[in-house]
Chain A
Amino acid sequence: MRMLRLLTVIMLLFSVAPTITAQETITVDFYFPTATATITNPEAGESIEAVFNRYAAAFEAANPGVQINVVYTGSYTDTRNTIQTEIAGGGAGPDVAVMLTTDLFSFIEEGTILPVQDFIDTMPDGEAYVADFFPAFLLNSLDEEGVIWSIPYQRSTPVLYYNVEQFAEAGFDAPPRNRQELAEMAQALTLPDGQRWGVWLPTEGFPIWLFSAFVIADGQHFVEESPSEVYFNTPQTREALDYIISLSRDYGVMPGGTLSWGDGPSIFTSGKASMLFHTTGSLTRILNEAPFEVGVAFLPSGTAGEDGTGYGAPTGGGNLYLFANSTPEEQAAAWAWIQFLSSPEIQSDWGAATGYVAARRSAWELDPLASLVARRPQYAVARDQLAFAQKEFSAYRTIDIQGIINSTLSGIISGATTDIEGALTTAQAQIDSLLAEYR
């Protein structure tokens, strides 16, 4: 009997709840993930959620009648799964979400997102708005026809970290410019029996990201404009594989097998590796933890470009997406929220708070980012490298194809796969069979 009463109370609560919240205000459901493994901000001492709540409060104050419902949805993967499951199950899903830039074609295919292009076109200064973003960061927003679907938000790119003290001990006063220099300098920096490695190039788990820097610098990225074409079995891939394998096998400057991504910053800051390939997202943490002067440089160049010394890097991170399930009123409010989050002021604050590369040029002229760069010029290296950056790997069936490429690359690099030619051919055939229905 008491059970029944409890049940009645619960049911009543559920039936009353919507009427309590349903007011005249428009609520924008905003989902965001964090990649806490790389982004830390000990200086500000503010959690990512607290930062977003601060932004939401500022936005609500400026836009009466709009309420931002800030929802933390876990990792990038959790966020994607949450949204897909909600929508596939007939739920509303969010109005705005930060998702991986590479999720674009999955969501276009599923028909659940809206192109922000339609909203940009209604802006009086739409062209100027778009032109203020770094072009490399916009590449992952575009479909085949050049329509903009998402707005760059928390973006990153890999850079080369180096230990200035260890460099000076070995007689080097500048970072390596190309792969040959990197290998030779690493050799001079390596100490025997694993006491110190010359370079740490993480290849565990998600090697495709760092690896694509090599093929980009050699002039053939895994993807071009079309999301239904992938170029994996190429001379550039074989060349980059040869180089990475030679770092451990021939030069002896890295351990064999695949190398940990997550441990990379600690290995570097503890002095166990003189150089590190890692994301700019780790910059704040590395600068704070390293007991030595940290140098940041472009990734070593490859053969691309007219003079044969092309730099190259992929971009990474998350963009702001707009969802198709929202009502027109919600869409308008959601677009205003996206504009707010991508404003130079917020981008400057967000970049300084997290270490992500602010996506708009004008953000770099505003404080707090401008004064941060004046104090720590390392932050500007990633921004300058953007001139040579390409999009992050993204195509139809992105996750499956990433899986094939990751598994193939780590298999070959670790030595698990000895038939490199055969493995690349098989992988390309599997990718092509996945993409056949999209061509």
Chain B
Amino acid sequence: MRNSSLASIERIKAAANAAQTGKPINLVPYLLVAPTLILVSLFTIYPAVGSVVSSLYRPPRNVRDPSTFVGLENYFDLFDPTHYIGSTFLQVISNTIIFALATVVVSVPLALGFALLLNRRIKRIGVYRFSLFYPALLPMIGAASIWAFLFADPLGLVNTILRTFGSRGQNWIGDPNIALFTVTTVNIWKQAGFYTIFYLAGLQNIPRDLYEAAELDGAGECQKLLYLTIPLLRRTTLFILIVSFTFGFQTVEHLQALGQGGPGDRSNLLLYFIFQSIGERRNWGYINAMTVVLVLVLMVFTVTNFLYFERRRDDETS
């Protein structure tokens, strides 16, 4: 580690000397980085900066006129509950937090459970693994269309089954008290299998002799799970928590097939609401402001986790 960093310092010094003495700089490394740098600047950095800038402007009535600088007014409007954007935005933010938290709280333990079940030597384990993992492979909008058919009232499978039990069924997509539950359920179904894979990998990294030692000490299944498996999976769990929470903010395609955020925005989510607001050109300031808010939330979350992660790793290695 130390050697390689010393070597790279030497190389930088050499390059600096070369620059001073007028020798040609080796262009190869720059050329190698250039494609990525160009792509990232063009498609990530430039739009990101553009978003922040245009979140401070209000588009003109006539497309040929310049935009008006309004400072942070767009942001104030977003958090103003009487404003037409703000009243929906606040509802949507709270939906999004519920959606993300519920997805994490349900799908992560579910994934652990699946992984424990699948981490055994059973016949045709591949079939079971595949059937739990395949929701993660389906494109979300396709999966959501299937679910929309299952949940449809009164034609869908769910209500048809419920009717055989004498129940009238539920208006899964149109009932304001159920709609958010419905879209969250679909997301959990979609994500749980995906996280199972990480847990499965984590489980298979745990050395078997630890369990053998525990068994010699007389530990039961429950104790092995609580005192061995779960603590040893801590890193995996942390990783999954980050990924699943971030996905909670990013996964919205299913809303298109499942009620489009209705009724009355009761099941609407932030990213989908941003997409819906594109309709009126004069909202572009708000759209960019909402995007900046979304990115900030995700960044705060990711950076704190990253720092936490890195610190722990340092603790462990030192």
A408 adjacent to B264 (CB under 8 Å): yes
Instruction: Please tell me if B168 contacts chain A, counting CB pairs below 8 Å.
Output: yes
Classify the secondary structure of A's interface with B. Answer: helix
Please name all residues of chain A whose beta carbon is closer than 8 Å to the beta carbon of B163 when the two chains form the complex. Answer: 193-195
Within 8 A of A (CB), among B257-294: 259-260, 262-266, 276, 278-283
B264 adjacent to A263 (CB under 8 Å): no
Size of chain A's interface in residues, with CB distance under 8 A? 50
A267 adjacent to B63 (CB under 8 Å): no
Contact (A397, B282) CB under 8 Å given A193-B168, A197-B154, A411-B176: yes
Q: A403-B276, A408-B264, A411-B176 are in contact. List 15 more A-B contacts (CB 8 A).
A: A81-B278, A110-B63, A194-B169, A203-B263, A204-B174, A204-B263, A205-B259, A258-B174, A407-B264, A407-B265, A414-B174, A414-B264, A414-B266, A416-B266, A433-B84
Size of chain B's interface in residues, with CB distance under 8 A? 40
Instruction: Please tell me if A8 contacts chain B, counting CB pairs below 8 Å.
Output: no
List the A residue with the shortest CB-CB distance to B153: A255
A91 shortest CB reach to chain B, Å:
11
Instruction: Please tell me if B20 contacts chain A, counting CB pairs below 8 Å.
Output: no
Interface residues of A (CB under 8 A from B): 77, 80-81, 84, 87-88, 106, 109-112, 193-195, 197, 203-205, 255-260, 263, 266-267, 270, 272, 397, 399-400, 403-404, 407-408, 410-417, 426, 429-431, 433-434
Instruction: Please tell me if B94 contacts chain A, counting CB pairs below 8 Å.
Output: no
Contact (A106, B280) CB under 8 Å given A111-B64, A433-B84: yes
Please name all residues of chain A whose beta carbon is closer than 8 Å to the beta carbon of B171 when the two chains form the complex. Answer: 255-259
Please name all residues of chain A whose beta carbon is closer than 8 Å to the beta carbon of B263 when the two chains form the complex. Answer: 203-204, 257-258, 410-411, 413-414, 416
Please name all residues of chain A whose beta carbon is closer than 8 Å to the beta carbon of B61 when the two chains form the complex. Answer: 109-110
Please name all residues of chain A whose beta carbon is closer than 8 Å to the beta carbon of B84 when the two chains form the complex. Answer: 400, 403-404, 430-431, 433-434
Please name all residues of chain A whose beta carbon is closer than 8 Å to the beta carbon of B62 when the two chains form the complex. Answer: 109-111
B278 shortest CB reach to chain A, Å:
6
Q: List 5 A-B contacts (CB under 8 A).
A: A110-B62, A204-B262, A260-B153, A260-B173, A266-B155
Please name all residues of chain B whose beta carbon is closer than 8 Å to the beta carbon of A257 when the two chains form the complex. Answer: 171, 174-176, 178, 263
- Docked complex Cα distance between A417 and B84 (Å): 16
Instruction: Please tell me if B96 contacts chain A, counting CB pairs below 8 Å.
Output: no
- Docked complex Cα distance between A411 and B178 (Å): 13
Of B83, B174, B265, B279, the contact of A260 (CB 8 Å cutoff): B174
A81 shortest CB reach to chain B, Å:
6
A193 adjacent to B279 (CB under 8 Å): no
Within 8 A of A (CB), among B55-110: 61-64, 82-84, 87-88
Contact (A270, B64) CB under 8 Å given A80-B279, A256-B175, A400-B84: no
Instruction: Please tell me if B167 contacts chain A, counting CB pairs below 8 Å.
Output: yes
Please name all residues of chain B whose beta carbon is closer than 8 Å to the beta carbon of A433 when the two chains form the complex. Answer: 83-84
